Chains A and B, each alone.
Chain A
């Protein structure tokens, strides 16, 4: 199984850009990388998914280097409501049991 690690916590001020990195050294060729946001007492909420290079949607960007051993979630201009735990998820293509969540990063946004 892919071992997937993230920084335990990060702090940011409102309005700043936040970059959260996930390390997944054992990623397999067909694995996808997905990022989720989780608030207390709620299930994870989908943010963005990618396979390689860069993906952007209306809320975030995902950067994946050529070797795919890491990925970076970029949140532009965070607000207080972005305070949450962020997880990367690696795997899924063809074999569900390879689905591995990262250790999670607790983001605290303050004024």
Chain B
């Protein structure tokens, strides 16, 4: 496909479980972003990759959140020991160039922690 894809689309986890969310960016896009969107609010920046390098992770809310993009393409956002406050939609976006260029978003993964 031509767009950004994310999987799974929905994830239900019990509190304390670890989860892994996958993002497949548009082929050839250098930059990849992760955002967290709480219900009824705008997306909030989590982390940013340029190729395989994680250039900014200042938005990750705690050390339970970890992201990687080992080969500069697919990225995984991992949340360890999930808490109820982690329930949100996690959006991935990619752009052709740097962080100032137009971002193209995936459909998001809706995470519900019970």
The answer to whether A and B belong to the same complex is: yes
Within 8 A of A (CB), among B20-45: 31, 33, 35, 41-45
- For A44, give the chain B residue with the smallest CB separation: B105
Taken together as a complex, chains A and B put the C-alpha atoms of A89 and B93 apart, in Å, by: 13
Q: Mark A41-77, 1 if CB is under 8 A from B, else 0.
A: 1111110010000000000000000000000000000
Q: Mark A66-106, 1 if CB is under 8 A from B, else 0.
A: 00000000000000000000010101111111011111100
- For B50, give the chain A residue with the smallest CB separation: A96
Taken together as a complex, chains A and B put the C-alpha atoms of A97 and B34 apart, in Å, by: 11
Instruction: Tell me if A42 and B104 are in contact (CB < 8 A).
Output: no
Chain B residue contacts of A87, Cβ below 8 A = 42-43
Q: How many residues of A contact B (CB 8 A)?
A: 26
Instruction: Tell me if B99 and A46 are in contact (CB < 8 A).
Output: no
Instruction: Tell me if A99 and B42 are in contact (CB < 8 A).
Output: no
Q: How many residues of B contact A (CB 8 A)?
A: 28
A44-B91, A100-B45, A102-B42 known; A93-B105 Cβ under 8 A: no
A49 CB to closest chain B CB, in angstroms? 6
Instruction: Tell me if B100 and A93 are in contact (CB < 8 A).
Output: yes
Instruction: Tell me if A95 and B42 are in contact (CB < 8 A).
Output: no
Instruction: Tell me if B100 and A101 are in contact (CB < 8 A).
Output: no
A43-B93, A101-B42, A104-B42 known; A96-B108 Cβ under 8 A: no
Instruction: Tell me if A42 and B42 are in contact (CB < 8 A).
Output: no
Chain A residue contacts of B41, Cβ below 8 A = 103-104
Instruction: Tell me if A43 and B91 are in contact (CB < 8 A).
Output: yes
B61 CB to closest chain A CB, in angstroms? 13
Q: Which residue numbers of A lie inside 8 Å of B, CB to CB?
A: 30, 32, 34, 36, 41-46, 49, 87, 89, 91-97, 99-104
A-B contact pairs, 20 of them (CB 8 A): A30-B100, A34-B103, A36-B105, A41-B110, A42-B108, A43-B91, A44-B91, A44-B93, A87-B42, A92-B99, A93-B98, A95-B99, A96-B33, A96-B45, A97-B59, A99-B99, A101-B35, A101-B42, A101-B44, A104-B41
Apart from A92-B100, A95-B56, list 6 A-B contacts with CB within 8 A: A46-B103, A46-B104, A94-B98, A96-B99, A101-B43, A104-B41
